[in-house]
Amino acid sequence: MRAAFIDSYGGPENITIGEQPPPKVGPDSVLVTVAAASLNPVDYMILRGYLDGGFPTAFPLVTGWDVAGEVAAVGPAVTDYEIGQQVIAYARKDYIGDGSWAEQVAVPYRCLAPAPTKLDAVHASCLPLAGLTALQGLLTLRVDEDDTVLIHNAGGGVGMFAVQLAKILGAATVYGTCGDANRSRVEGYGAVPLKYGDGLAERLRAREPAGVDAIFDCVGGDALEASPQLLRPGGRLASITDPETVKKLGGTYCFVRPDTTELRRLAAYADSGQLRVDVQETFPLENTADAVRLAEQGHTQGKLVLTI
């Protein structure tokens, strides 16, 4: 099968498009013919070796944890998926390799869900990693009715889902930090946009003198460091970026985990029209390196997706 892979850590220039052995399908796994695989920051972090200390790695390394496609085969212990069914997955294994930037990928059952019927494969492939990250972060924060919530980097891949999911969970008001280029998009998701950077505390306190109930940080750095002064007494903080800093600040670090029940929940929200997915650009597998270069620049106006 054709795949995008690397033989050693490095930048997009290290990516090769070529043949790799077909995936092995375990007893509780499903073989998926990949239609689309969205990109996430973790993908270029993997390519550069930044996750090497936390996961075993198999070279040649095919990365990619998001996938939408069609079931091609099922393991003997899998009973509720069938060949030809459309599925999505957060295809994270217990090691790094054999990912979704390929014509086929073997997906553990725990990572899989039926695809939403109202989204095409390109848009559906954007749901798993970023959507689960947002949902699990908000559930960690116990976001509920009447809460006032602040999302840092509300225009990013996780942030766009976090704003919408906070509203779905019942938050009374959602604020989202963003740059001027993303202001209208953040408003469209249902948040009150706040320009990030110097003076953020003053801008927020002008609207919420007592502070907000919960902050979900998707960017780290100065935004995370400033978060405690934006919270009301007893407010909750969670971050996906910096374990040591967020714990030092009294918050919780969130690292997304596969969860088929929550993935089905995201698909249902998409089918009901409550959850919107923005895609900036698609790339054929042959142009994977170009997609990674653009992703590493940041400041995209929606998700980047490989079509395979």
- Could you read off the pLDDT of 216-257 as tens digits, one per residue? 999 999 999 999 999 999 999 999 999 999 999 999 999 999
Are the C-beta atoms of 293 and 12 separated by less than 8 Å?
yes
**Residue 56 CA to chain centroid, in angstroms?**
21
> Reduced to 3 states, what is the DSSP secondary structure of residue 280?
strand
The structural domains of the chain, ordered by start, are 2-127+277-307 (3.90.180.10), 130-253 (3.90.180.10)
pLDDT at 22: 95
Identify whether the C-beta of residue 71 lies closer than 8 Å to the C-beta of residue 85. Answer: yes
Over 90: is that where the pLDDT of 152 sits? Answer: yes
Angle between helices 260-271 and 157-168 (to 10 degrees): 80
Mean pLDDT along residues 78-88:
97
> With 90 as the cut, is the pLDDT of residue 28 above it?
yes
3-state secondary structure of 169: coil
> Please, are residues 37 and 101 in contact by the beta-carbon 8 Å criterion?
yes
CA angle 93, 95, 96 (to 5 degrees): 95
Q: Is pLDDT at 71 greater than 90 in this prediction?
A: yes
In the predicted model, is pLDDT for residue 159 greater than 80? yes
Q: What string of DSSP letters covers 54-72? A: TS-B-SSB----EEEEEEE
Q: What angle do CA 7, 13, 14 make, to 5 degrees?
A: 0
Does the CA dihedral 177-183-187-193 come out positive or negative? positive
Is residue 245 within 8 A of residue 224, CB to CB? The reply is yes
Arithmetic mean of pLDDT over the chain: 96
Which residues are paired to 175 by β-bridges?
150, 192
CB 205 within 8 A of CB 211: yes
Q: Residue 220 belongs to what H/E stretch? A: none
Task: Tell me the backbone φ, ψ of residue 267, rounded to 5 degrees.
Answer: -60, -40
Over residues 12-29, the mean pLDDT reads 97
Is residue 301 over pLDDT 90?
A: no
